Amino acid sequence: MKTIKGIFWSTLSCFFILSAVSCGHNAQYHELTGYAQGGTYSVKFKSERRIDVNEVGKAVDSILSMIDTTLSGYNKGSQLSRYNSGTLRTPNEMFKEIFLISKRLYDETGGALDMASGPLYDAWGFGFTRDSLPLPSVVDSLRSVCGMDKLDLNMLPLNPAIRPKLNFNAIAQGYSCDKIAEYLHSLGIKDMLVNIGEIYCEGLNPSGKPWTIGIDMPIDGNMELGSKGLVGRWQGDGSGCGVVTSGNYRKFYVKDGRKYSHTIDPRTGYPVSHSLLSATIVAPNATLADAYATYCMVIGLTEAKRFIESHDELEGYLVYGDGENISEWASSGFNLARK
């Protein structure tokens, strides 16, 4: 699963039907793969009845295209880009939905998850524009114009002189998984794995067992899943859930001997500096798993443990250390297999 909350949008998506695997009882597993949001995606599902897989693929492609034209920061004609430029007159239902989700997450986390802090990421070189270190005065100035608390529930600025710019990268991939899963549910499909950088899974895999998801060893520069080893595999129980890992080991830069994390704490305006290397969250849906994995990386090890343990609907797995000595912590219901 992709753990970088950065630039991932493209303006087109396309799909391929790779295979149909027999699972008995006349049911087949199908896999759709393609390119969307700056990377590859895979949608695996089992149909208990005959369906037109080409039509399913077209529908998935259409959903991903709608997400792009709504939430992409690269697409200059997207709803997001038009909102940020002040030219959006009528937001669509998807834009309204993800805005309200973002608003709730901001309030729940005390501003640690802030979809209106994009300029801070730009300033630190992890957004769309630059890669130099900002002066403290610049950080303070940007913080004054960032924040979901400066917008009302209708997306209007509370102060007309301050219009925060939105960026939904912290939850958009998880949200995309959920939208595809919703569509598959509408077809009566109960066995699926949707991987669009983050993961939603439900039911059984082609072997008739609950899904297992590999968790990367959080080693600096580990850019591909499993390329430098796995700490283990999360084992599901068949219930629908999002599974997302967030970490700082794939996106960072070093300047003057200091490592700067891509995780920015919107409350301070600066990159985080703590021992937490990666956080894997299992939540009822991929949007929340995506959000809370990022949140854990903002707040650090101690607060992340407390947060996970205080939410019965969540399970979590945290890897921490100094890069050489690595330790781990898992919530009581997190099922991790070493082999």
At residue 338 the predicted structure's pLDDT band, cuts being 50, 70 and 90, is: confident
The answer as to whether 166 is a domain residue is: no
- How many separate domains does the chain show? 1
Domain that holds residue 263: 28-49+199-338
Q: What is the pTM of this model?
A: 0.88
> What strands lie across the sheet with 230-235, from one edge to the other?
212-216, 230-235, 336-337
The answer as to whether 33 is a domain residue is: yes
More confident residue, 238 or 48: 238
The answer as to whether 263 is a domain residue is: yes
CATH number of the domain at 224, please: 3.10.520.10
At residue 16 the predicted structure's pLDDT band, cuts being 50, 70 and 90, is: low
Provide, rounded to the nearest whole percent, the portion of the chain with pLDDT above 90.
68
The answer as to whether 112 is a domain residue is: no
The answer as to whether 289 is a domain residue is: yes
Q: Per-residue DSSP letters for 45-91?
A: EEESS---HHHHHHHHHHHHHHHHHHH-SS-TTSHHHHHHHT---S-
Q: What is the pLDDT of residue 175?
A: 98
C-alpha torsion angle, residues 303, 304, 305, 308 (rounded to 10): 120
At residue 9 the predicted structure's pLDDT band, cuts being 50, 70 and 90, is: very low
Please, what is the average pLDDT of the chain?
A: 87
The answer as to whether 20 is a domain residue is: no
Give SS3 for 286: helix
Provide, rounded to the nearest whole percent, the portion of the chain with pLDDT above 70.
82
Among the ranges given (117-121, 192-196, 267-271, 321-325), the one the predictor scored with the smallest mean pLDDT: 321-325
The answer as to whether 121 is a domain residue is: no
The answer as to whether 250 is a domain residue is: yes
